[in-house]
Structure 1
Amino acid sequence: MRKMISPLLSIAALSIAATAVAQQPTKAPLPGLPASVLPPVQPWSGASEALVARKDDPWITPAEQTGFATTPRYAQVEDWLRRLDAASPLISLESFGRTGEGRDMLLVRASKGKDGSGAAKPVVLVQAGIHAGEIDGKDAGLMLLRDIALRGKDGLLDTVDLIFVPVYNIDGHERMSRWNFPALRGPAEKGYVGNSRNINLNRDYAKADAPESRAMIGLLRRLDPILYIDCHVSDGFDMQYDITFTYAGWGRYAYHRATADWLQRRFGPSVTAALEKAGHIPTLYPNPIDTRAPLKGIRQAPEGPRYSTGYGDFIGVPTVLVENHMMKPYRQRVLGTYVLLEAALKLAGQDARAIAQAKASDRVSRPAEMLTRWKPAARPIGWVEAFKGIAFDTYVSPASGRKEQKWLGRPVDWRMPIIGQEPFEQVRLPKAWWVPAGQAEVIDRLTLHGIRHEVLAAQRTLTLDRVRLIDPRSTPPRDARIPLETKLVHEDVTETLPIGTVRVPADQPLGLLAAALLEPESQDGFLAWGFFPEILAAPSGVEDFVQAPIAEALLAADPHLRAAFEAKLANDATFAADGDARLDWLSARLPEPSPYHHVYPIRRESQ
C-alpha cells in the first residue's frame, strides 16, 4: 500500500467499513451511522473457491474456520504452524530476528531437501504483513503450506524451496482494531500500518532503522532468493480488478534489466493466466495520479531502495509487489493471493536457471549514472484501452463541505492514460566514496547491506569532490527521521584523509545501492533522511568586535565577493537589515570556514 491511512480519516470512517459484509457480528455500528460506507460488492465466484477447506477438515486454517470473517492473532498463527511442522517433514520453523517489542520473527521453510547434486535449492521468499492491516498473504500462505505439506502439492518443491514469513510487522499486527484500515473490506479487525516505533517498514529498506528491517535485509543476504514476493492490499479507487501486482517502475524504469525483463516477459503473463483461469480479474497495479479523478491516469515511475520492490531492483533480486484491491471481500482476495503464490512457485521452479543467469548478468553490470529526480511526462507513454473501472458520482458532503465520490457498483470501461516520468536530474557515479571513521551509523548500514568497503591503513592525500549545503531545511518528521531538503554545490578540494577513513568503491555488485545511500542528491540517501544533524549546527560564535573587522577585511580584499554581497543587500531587504545574518554570510566565505557547518561529510572520488 503506497499511502498511509491518516488518523483523521480513520476516526471519520470509524469501524463501519469493517461491517460492510457483516463480518463483525459482535460489534454494532455506532448509533446514527449507516451500516456501511463501502461501495456495493461486485458479485464474484471462481474456480479458486475449491481451495477452501471443508468445515470438518482437521487442517482448516483459522481464517477459513470463520468464513474469512476474521484473521488470527500471531500466537494462533504460530500454534497452527508448529502443529503443521510436527505433522510434516517438509515443514520447518525458524526465528530470523526479533521485533522492537521482543517478539520472535518466524519464517517457515517448505523443502524436500537438497537437490540431486547435494546443493541447496534456490529459494522463493514470500512475506506478508509488512503493513500489518494488509494481511491477505498470511492467510493465503497458511492454506498453501497446508496443501503442500498434506494435500499433494509437494511437487511445487521439486526444484525450489519456499520460505514464507507469515507476518513481517508483528508488533503492528498485534495492534488489531476495527478502526485500522477502514477502506479494506475485511477482515473484521486488522493490524496497524507501522511497527512499535510507527516506522513504515516499506519505507525502511535503505535506511534500515527498524530491527524488523535489519532482520529482513539479513535474511535476503543469506537466502539471495530467485524471487521475492511482498504481499499488500491497495488503496486508491474502486475498480473491477481484484488481484494486482507490479515491479519496480513496472520494469520500464528498473536499473537491472535482465531481472526486470524476466518479470515482464515471464512472471506477468504466467501469473495473469493462472489468475484468470481461477476466475479472478488481474492486472498490473494501477497507481492513480488522482483518486478523485481516476481518468487522469495511472502512474508509472522509478523507485528508490526504500521500498521492497526498489530494494530488490537495486540488489538484483526479482521482486514482486502484490496489491490486492481493498474493496474486494477478504475471501476473494485471499484466494487470489493463493493462486498467485502457487503460480509463482511453479514458474520459479521452471525458470530457476534462467533467473539465476539474469541475476548474474545484472550483478556484473555497472551503471554509470543514477536518476535522482524526475517529473511526470508531458504526454502519456501508453494507454489502457479498456480499463475495467467502476462508475461513480459525486455529492456535497456536510462533513467536508466539498464534493466527495460515491462509487455506484456499476462496471464501466475507461480509456486510461499511463503517465510516465521524465528525468530532470541524474548524477554520474564517482570512482568511490570516502566516509569518515566517526560516521558509525553510516558504516553500520553499509555493513548491514553487504556493501564492500575498506578501511584506510595509512594517511592518504587526494583531490576529492566536497559538497556544501545551500539553504538546507528540515521537512516534517516521518518514519523516525527528520528528512532534509537542500541545494548542493560541488567543489574540488585536496584533503589528507586520516587512518580509519572508509573507502566504498563503486565498482562492485552493490555499487548502485551504495550510490543510492551515499550520493548527496539521492532521495533515499543518508543525507536526505537526515543522518547528519551535526552539519546543521552553526559554527562556534566569535565576538562581533572581532568578527566585523575580519568581514570588512574580506570585503576589501575580494572585489568579486564584495559585488555578490552588495547584490544580496540590494535584493534582500530582510538580510540587509539583519546584522547577524550579514556577518554569518561573510564568515562562511572565509578562506578556512568551519569544516562541519553545511558540509556533507562524505567525499566523492572522481573517475
Structure 2
Amino acid sequence: MALPGLSQRKPSELTPYERDTNQTATYPQIISWYQQLDQQYDQAKLIEVGKTDIGKPLHLFLMAADKQFAARPDRVTLLINNGIHPGEPEGIDACMMLARDLLKANKLPRNVLLAIVPVYNVGGCLNRGVSRVNQNGPESYGFRGNARNLNLNRDFIKAEAENTRAFQTMYQSLKPQVLIDNHTSDGADYQHVLTYFSTQKDKLHPTLSGYMTQTFQTDLDKLLMATGFPSAPYVNHVGDTPESGLIGYNDSPRYSTGYAALFNCFGFTLETHMWKPYPARVKATYVFNESVMRLCERDAQIILANQQKANTVVRQQTTFPMNYKLDRNQVDTVTFLGYAATYKPSEVSGLKRLYYDRTKPFTKRIPYRNTFVPEMQIDKPRAYVIPQAWAEVINQLKRNSVAVQILPKDTVINVSAYYIADYKSPQRPYEGHYIHTGVNVTTQPQTIQFYKGDYLVWTNQATNRYIVETLEPQGVDSFFAWNFFDSILDQKEYFADYIFEDTAAELVRNDPALRKRLNEKRAADKAFADNADAQLDFIYRQTPYYEKTHNRYPVYRLK
C-alpha cells in the first residue's frame, strides 16, 4: 500500500502536493483535478450535488468499476468526506492521489461504490491562510469555519449551512454503509502519526457494532501496522497527559459519524497528528482510506447484510436509548506510543509548563474507557403529529428520507402533549445557538384540532432513530435543543395586576382547593410568599385565561 513512486508519473499526472510536499491543493486545483479524471476515465464521474454557503457548488466524485454510479443494494457504498475543516487538508491531497492511482491501475473494487467529497467546506477552503498555529505544514491552508463561520462538523442535525443541506441530500441518495471523515488532530504530543475514532459502538445496533469492533477495526489496525502506521484511539485523555488514560469520543448526531449512525452506517474519523511532517500525515491518510476501502471490498456481503438487518430491527423497535454518557467503571487498555511528559519553567510566564520529551519515547498499555450508557429510554409513539406551521422541521425530515403523511382534512385527534417544564441554556452561543440542555417535560393527554395540510410521521420506518432523536425534546441534539421551537417558550398574553387582583381574590374565595395550594406554596417558599406578582401569576395559571399553548411542545405523540 505504499504510495506509487513519483518518478513513474508525468508532470501532468502529479497533484500540487506531489510537486511540492509542503503545499496543499487550492480549491480551483482540486476541482480541476477531478474534472480531468472524469474526462479521462469512464469509471469516474464528477457531479454537483447542491449549493454551499459561499455560492459555489458542492461536488461529489464517484468511482465504479462497472461504470454504474447509482447506489445499489448489492454493493457497499463507501463515502469519504474531505475538508470539513480545510485547515486539516491531508484528506484532500491523499484522495486526489488515491483516485488517480485506482483509476490508472484499474484497481477499483467491483463490489464497492467509492464516493469522495473532494472538499466539503468550500468557503473555508477559499479562506486560505495560516490559522493553525500548532500545525507542522503545509505552507498555507483553509480555515475551520465556513462562509457563515459555522463549524460544519456540528451542523449535521440543525443543517443551517447550505453545505449541510446538500450533504444530507447526497447522503440519503447514496445511503452509505461506511463513512470516513478525514481530519488532523491537535493537543498532546506522541509517536503515532495516525489516530482515529469509530462510531461510538454502544449506539449502534449490536450486529453492526460487533462486526465493526471485533472484525473490521481489528483487521484495519493490522493493515495500518503492516504499513508502518500503528494506530491508537483518538487522543481524548482523562488527565493532563495521555498516560492518564484515554476516553472514547461521544459522537452525538451533530457530528458526521453520529449522524451516519442514525441510519445504521458505521464510520471513522481519522485524526493524523498535527506536528508530524505533512508528507507523513498525507501518506497515513492515503493508507487509512485505501485500507478501509479494501476491507469493504473483502466483506461487502457481510456489511450489506448487517445494515439490512439493522434497518429491519429499527422499523420494529419500540424503545430507543438516548443521551449517552461515559461509564467510568468500564476500563480497557490499549497500547500507546507516547513521549515522557514532564514540566519545566515557562520562558513566557516563569511558571510551570507541560513539556513532552521526544528523547524519551515509550510504549505501554494505558487505560481506555470506551463504554457509554444511555441516560434515558424513550418509548416511541405510533406516530408524531406536526402542524404545518413548523415547515422547517418538516423539510428537515423529508430531506433525511423520513416519509410523512399529509392530513387530507381538518381532524380532531386525541394525542399526548409534552409541556416543557425546565431546561438550561448557556450564557454564550454555541454555533450560533443557545442550545438547550437538561430538558424536562410533563405529559398531558389532550384533544387537539389539526388542519388539512398538517403532518403525520409514522414510526414504522428505517429512519426511526433519526425521527426519535430529533423530535423527542429531551434529545441532546433534538430540534428543540437546537432552538427550532423557541417561540413556544414565549408567553403571548398577560394580566394587568391592578385589575386581576380583584379576579384573583374572588377565585381564591370561591375555590378552597386553589386557596389550599396557594397557602402550601407560600409556606414552602419564602421568596414566593414575599412576591405579590408571583402569587398572582400562580393563580392566573390556574384560570382558563392562561394560554394552553405556552410551553406546549408542538410535536404531538399519537398512541
TM-score, normalized by length of structure 2? Answer: 0.91
Q: CA deviation at 1:562?
A: 4.0
Distance in 1 of aligned mates of 2:233 and 2:395: 36
- 1:254 correspondence with 2:200: no
Aligned to 1:342: 290
Structure 2 match to 1:58 = 12
Q: Which residue of 1 aligns with 2:434?
A: 482
1:140 aligned to which of 94, 102, 109: 94
2:449 paired with 1:500: no
Name the CA distance, whole Å, in 2 between partners of 1:244 and 1:287.
10
Provide TM-score, normalisation by structure 1. 0.84
One of 544, 551, 559 as aligned partner of 1:598: 551
Is this contact kept in 2: 1:122–1:226, CA < 8 A? yes
Matches within 5 A, 1:175-186: 175-178=127-130, 180-186=131-137
Give the whole-Å Cα distance in 2 for the aligned partners of 1:399 and 1:589.
Answer: 63
Candidates 432, 448, 451, aligned match of 2:383: 432
Deviation, 1:71, is: 0.7
CA distance in 1, matches of 2:433, 2:92: 29
- 1:473–1:343 distance in 2 versus 1, CA, 3 Å: closer
CA distance in structure 2 between the aligned counterparts of 1:401 and 1:495, rounded to whole angstroms: 68
Query: Which of 82, 103, 115 matches 1:149?
Result: 103
| 1:289 matches 2:238 | yes
Q: Distance in 2 between matches of 1:173 and 1:464?
A: 48
Tell me, in whole angstroms, the C-alpha distance in 2 between the residues paired with 1:197 and 1:444.
21
Is residue 169 from structure 1 mapped to residue 121 from structure 2 by the alignment? yes
Secondary structure at the aligned position of 1:357 is classed as: helix
Please tell me the residue identity of whatever aligns with 1:173.
C
Residues 561 and 260 (structure 1), Cα distance of their counterparts in 2 relative to 1, 3 Å cut: farther
| Identical columns (%) | 29
The correspondence of residues 34-433 of structure 1 with structure 2, limited to 5 A, is 48=2, 57-67=11-21, 69-114=22-67, 122-150=76-104, 152=105, 154-178=106-130, 180-249=131-200, 251=201, 253-290=202-239, 292-300=240-248, 302-366=250-314, 367-384=317-334, 386-395=335-344, 397=346, 403-409=352-358, 410-419=360-369, 420-433=371-384
Shift of 1:405: 1.6
- Taking the TM superposition and a 5 Å limit, the aligned residue runs for 1:536-555 are 536-555=489-508
For residues 301 and 195 of structure 1, the distance between their equivalents in structure 2, rounded to whole angstroms, comes to: 24
Kindly report the root-mean-square deviation, in angstroms, between the aligned alpha carbons of the 2 structures.
2.6
Contact 1:53 1:64 in 2 (8 A): no
Q: CA deviation at 1:519?
A: 0.3
Alpha-carbon distance in 2 for matches of 1:556, 1:453: 50
User: Which moved further from structure 2: 295-304 or 476-485?
Assistant: 295-304
Tell me what 1:37 maps to: none
The verdict on how the C-alpha distance between 1:514 and 1:357 changes in structure 2, with shifts beyond 3 A counting, is same
CA distance in 2: counterparts of 1:199 and 1:451, whole angstroms: 26
**Cα drift, residue 563 of structure 1:** 4.5
- Do 2:63 and 2:108's aligned partners in 1 also have CA atoms closer than 8 Å? no
Q: Which amino acid aligns with 1:499?
A: K
* Unpaired stretches in structure 2, ≥5 consecutive residues: none
Q: Is contact 2:153–2:254 with CA below 8 Å preserved after alignment?
A: yes
- The answer as to whether partners of 1:363 and 1:509 remain within 8 angstroms in 2 is yes
Residue in structure 2 matched with residue 585 of structure 1 by the alignment? 538
CA separation of 1:424/1:221 partners in 2, compared to 1, >3 Å: closer, same or farther? closer
Residue identity in the other structure for 1:394: Y
Q: Is the 8 A contact 2:469 2:477 kept in 1?
A: yes
Cα separation, 2, equivalents of 1:437 and 1:280: 53
For 1:62 and 1:216, locate their aligned partners in 2 and report how far apart those are by CA, in whole Å.
26
Classify the secondary structure of the residue corresponding to 2:374: strand
8 Å contact 1:181–1:190 — kept in the other structure?
A: no
Amino acid across the alignment from 1:496: Q
8 Å Cα contact 1:534/1:596 also seen in 2: no
TM superposition shift of 1:62: 0.6
Q: Which residue identity is paired with 2:430?
A: R
Number of aligned residues: 550
Give unpaired runs (5+ residues) of structure 1.
Answer: 1-46
Q: 1:451 to 1:106 in 2, by over 3 A?
A: same
**Separation in 2, partners of 1:131, 1:511:** 30
2:396 is the counterpart of 1:445:
yes
Match for residue 43 of structure 1?
none
Q: Is the 8 A contact 2:90 2:285 kept in 1?
A: yes
Q: How many Å separate the matches in 2 of 1:263 and 1:316?
A: 12
CA distance in 1 between partners of 2:119 and 2:28 (Å): 11
- The farther-off stretch of 502-511 and 406-415 is 406-415
Secondary structure of 1:495's partner? strand
Aligned equivalents of 1:601, 1:149: Cα separation in 2: 52
> Deviation of residue 159 (structure 1)?
2.5
- The code of the aligned residue for 1:417 comes to P
In structure 2, what is the Cα distance between the partners aligned to 1:501 and 1:401? 65
Task: Report the residue type matching 1:142 in the other structure.
Answer: M
Q: Cα 1:107–1:424, aligned 2, differ >3 Å: closer, same or farther?
A: closer
CA 1:399–1:474: 2 relative to 1, 3 Å = farther
Q: 3-state SS of the aligned residue for 1:157?
A: coil
> What secondary structure does 2:37 align onto?
helix
* Residue pair 2:42, 2:67 contacting (<8 A) in 1 also: no
Measured after TM superposition, the shift of residue 527 of structure 1 is 0.6
Pair 438,142 (structure 1): closer, same or farther in 2 beyond 3 Å: same
Counterpart CA distance in 2 for 1:126 and 1:166 is: 9
Aligned partner letter, 2:118: P
Please tell me whether the aligned partners of residues 270 and 343 of structure 1 are also in contact (alpha carbons under 8 angstroms): no
Structure-2 separation of matches of 1:422 and 1:472: 22
Following TM superposition, by how much is the alpha carbon of 1:209 offset from its aligned partner in structure 2, in angstroms? 1.3
- After TM superposition, give the deviation of residue 79 of structure 1 in Å: 2.0
Assess if the C-alpha contact under 8 Å between 1:470 and 1:488 holds in 2: yes
Alpha carbons of structure 1 residues 443 and 403: separation in structure 2 relative to 1, 3 Å: farther
Of 416, 427, 443, the residue aligned with 1:465 is 416
Q: 596-605 or 480-489, which moves further after superposition?
A: 480-489
Secondary structure of the corresponding residue to residue 365 of structure 1: helix
SS of structure 2 residue aligned to 1:246: strand
Instruction: Give, in whole Å, the separation in 1 of the partners of 2:238 and 2:537.
Output: 43
Q: CA distance change for structure 1 residues 186 and 342 in 2, over 3 Å: closer, same or farther? A: same
2:420–2:441 contact (8 Å) kept in structure 1:
yes
Deviation at 1:206, TM superposition (A): 1.5
Aligned counterparts of 2:435 and 2:124: Cα–Cα separation in 1: 23
The answer (yes or no) to whether the contact 1:126–1:230 under 8 Å persists in 2 is yes
Aligned to 1:24: none
Tell me by how many angstroms 1:57 deviates. 4.2
